[in-house]
Structure 1
């Protein structure tokens, strides 16, 4: 019988046979977990292990096929908290199963019967294989758990907004709550207008010191300011965030919809200024922005002019960012984006757009995956948005399309626009022209 099945009924007296058998078993356990038990151990355990392995392979193949056919389906699944929970549990269970199968494989190899010189090599190989297989599954389970927590915490919105005139318009706020400020003030205000089909993106920059912001008649701010937010230097558009926070009764449903009265006030102002409907917002705390850039591994920006580091409230700069392509860490990128020493708000806006575009263009999905834990940890601390997690799949798909296209910009700054006395009819025309669908050249 041993001649018929030397794996299950080996000649225990032959170290050479037992060594060869041990290598076969640990190798099979690596390639098809459960196959070693089917051949030489508990066949019920082996069939369960092999069946689980084939199921995993099947799901992986189906996932690849679906990804090639319809990216958004996979994106929707991997950004859904329920799907991520299921994936986390399955990967954790598979890691445990692989540990059990590997230890059982070492038992049935009868290492003490193998050649003395081969025993440590076989054991080390089995352990390394276990680290690769079960370790990968364990890391996948941890990553799925981190993603689920990040998605649930950041993307807390519940309302799915359809595109308007074929576009998604997302207000982007950079909230500066630094030590020289009282409360949070959005010193960076822009709107990303994204074509819902092609992903073509136009970023519209609104100066923080724009005056006389207007509101549509349906806005809660129209009643107190029917002629626009006009009361001199104290009525700059970014002050509306504070105004909204001080008058929460204007937006009683803001918190329920994962927003805030201040954000809603800014959204109403941006809609009135630009003449477009804004579906969502994203707020990034500028003090935490540096953590996010560091988590991404830095950002490379082509610096057009020598830019100071430091120099807030009259102090002298503590350093300089030199001209040319510079790989910036979070601290440097934050100062490059926010400094106004020896410059003005409009120059700062241009630098902020540079950093935004650099981040969008430079960071591939592979980079995000390799640094996912740090990015998720930073993101949950610095990012707030009302984009619901149910919309993430579609937006990730759009973001992938957008990365392949040039990003266009419209800056509402002098001399085109007088920020102290803006012509909103002119601004509406400029915005309509900037976001109008571009004709596709013939091949």
Structure 2
């Protein structure tokens, strides 16, 4: 390069010429100047990755780095704006609900691509940082600056690359959770009488447990406009209940009958339906479309029973496994519960009348408790020193405590743990296309108290001979309270 094209550097004969490119062509004989240049390069690599290479190194590598940086900034800015204006849109983008139903198998592809892009960006930033350190030319700068610039560059590289890897793993967790929990296809069902009703089932789903029964049965009704939540608890031993129109009503037009434990089930309770339908009968013949729609015959029979009991249509269900439930509580950092009486932990007595002190493996003491997953699980299970009504109340308390603990900030800081727990916690037939809408409702619901109605003697329900017309009237009064009218003056 001629002297007209290339600025004079360390060996220039004239010191009067000002170097217009001190970063690319520095005066290597000036230790102070090289030190300043080193800090500039490290700072630019941190603030705008790729800019150090454009100004002082390989311009092609720099343009790649700058392009990737600007693209990432654009995605973050646009994504942040969308999240502020419409959180449900972010869920829709993540779940790829914009992909048509006939291509629903490809809905995990966008998140897979995003996961790969984040990993590539992490690798690119590491390469840019290492190249920046090469451009610094450590032998020409002050000794203290060698340590300072090196430490700053490496720490930021570890943080930025680690952040990209974490974001990639979080994206993968979202992809795995969406594909394992929610059905990829399925129609978006409109609300029924202004509500979305979801059957919530809880049980221990140990391997090989053909006789697994639903220990917790409730229906969550979410107001489609306000997000207000009402939870209706159904006793698991509720007898002689009616069914909504369908195969089980055809089989039991006058209400569900008791069964001999030697033939099928252990009575007439609603929690026996899974065993009856899936073990003692051909459930796939009764509900041939259940599996294709992300459900099970036993679940569909329980849906029909809950609809018959409460008098409302229930399009969706969510099954909560107790082991996964404990993992979710731990992932959220525990829950706060006020325990009203001392409760034993353990599987129960070996014989009638055995003192709890003989079989309990631990105790949950009365008072304010911050429970981990294992303790919360026993709090929901314990019933041998109380009764089923108390256990139902405690299960609702835990549901509300988890809702209170699942704040956006808490979920974000523990995102991967929560997502991983969710994969083992839930089975549901809620389609991915409904997720965005339900997220919006969930955000509204957090601003309102939860209404809980248990179908127990405390609410005037005779547990031995329930008046199902009264039950349905109670449900309607809860969901659609009649507005008080003013009495005309005079």
Q: TM-score range by the shorter chain?
A: over 0.9
Query: Aligned residue for 2:378?
Result: 335
- Pair 1:6 & 2:22 matched: yes
Mapped to 1, the partners of 2:407 and 2:429 lie a distance apart of 24
Range that drifts further, 394-403 or 157-166: 157-166
- Pair 1:33 & 2:49 matched: yes
- Pair 1:202 & 2:230 matched: yes
**Structure 1 residues 147 and 181, CA, compared in 2 at 3 Å: closer, same or farther?**
closer
Mapped to 1, the partners of 2:277 and 2:147 lie a distance apart of 69
**Structure 1 residues 326 and 92, CA, compared in 2 at 3 Å: closer, same or farther?**
same
| 1:143, distance to aligned residue in structure 2 (A) | 0.9
Range that drifts further, 422-431 or 382-391: 382-391
Query: Aligned residue for 1:164?
Result: 192
Query: Aligned residue for 1:239?
Result: 272
Query: Aligned residue for 2:85?
Result: 69
2:364 is aligned, of 321, 336, 345, to 321
Q: Does the CA-based 8 Å contact 1:177-1:183 persist in structure 2?
A: no
Query: Aligned residue for 1:275?
Result: 311
Mapped to 2, the partners of 1:288 and 1:89 lie a distance apart of 29
Query: Aligned residue for 1:257?
Result: 293
Q: Does the CA-based 8 Å contact 2:26-2:34 persist in structure 1?
A: yes
2:76 is aligned, of 51, 57, 60, to 60
How does 1:32-431 map onto structure 2 within 5 Å?
Answer: 32-80=48-96, 81-156=108-183, 158-159=185-186, 160-177=188-205, 183-217=211-245, 219-231=246-258, 234-246=267-279, 247-248=282-283, 249-310=285-346, 312-314=348-350, 316-415=359-458, 416-431=460-475
| 1:394, distance to aligned residue in structure 2 (A) | 1.3
**Structure 1 residues 414 and 178, CA, compared in 2 at 3 Å: closer, same or farther?**
farther
Provide the secondary structure at the position in 2 that maps to 1:10: coil
Q: Does the CA-based 8 Å contact 2:87-2:439 persist in structure 1?
A: no
Q: Does the CA-based 8 Å contact 1:244-1:263 persist in structure 2?
A: no
Range that drifts further, 328-337 or 233-242: 233-242
Provide the secondary structure at the position in 2 that maps to 1:282: strand
| 1:179, distance to aligned residue in structure 2 (A) | 10
Mapped to 2, the partners of 1:50 and 1:422 lie a distance apart of 70
Provide the secondary structure at the position in 2 that maps to 1:118: helix
Mapped to 2, the partners of 1:438 and 1:398 lie a distance apart of 23
Please tell me whether Structure 1 or Structure 2 has the larger radius of gyration of its CA atoms: 2
| 1:428, distance to aligned residue in structure 2 (A) | 0.9
| 1:295, distance to aligned residue in structure 2 (A) | 2.0
| 1:93, distance to aligned residue in structure 2 (A) | 1.8
**Structure 1 length-normalised TM:** 0.94
| 1:438, distance to aligned residue in structure 2 (A) | 8.6
- Size of the aligned set, in residue pairs, is 439
Mapped to 2, the partners of 1:180 and 1:147 lie a distance apart of 29
Q: Which sections of structure 2, spanning at least 5 residues, go unmatched?
A: 1-6, 9-18, 97-107, 260-265, 351-357, 485-490
Mapped to 2, the partners of 1:313 and 1:226 lie a distance apart of 39
1:80-134 Cα offsets, whole Å, 9 max, x none, are 4343223212211211211121111111121222122321221111111111212
Mapped to 2, the partners of 1:64 and 1:157 lie a distance apart of 26
Aligned-residue Cα RMSD (Å) equals 2.0
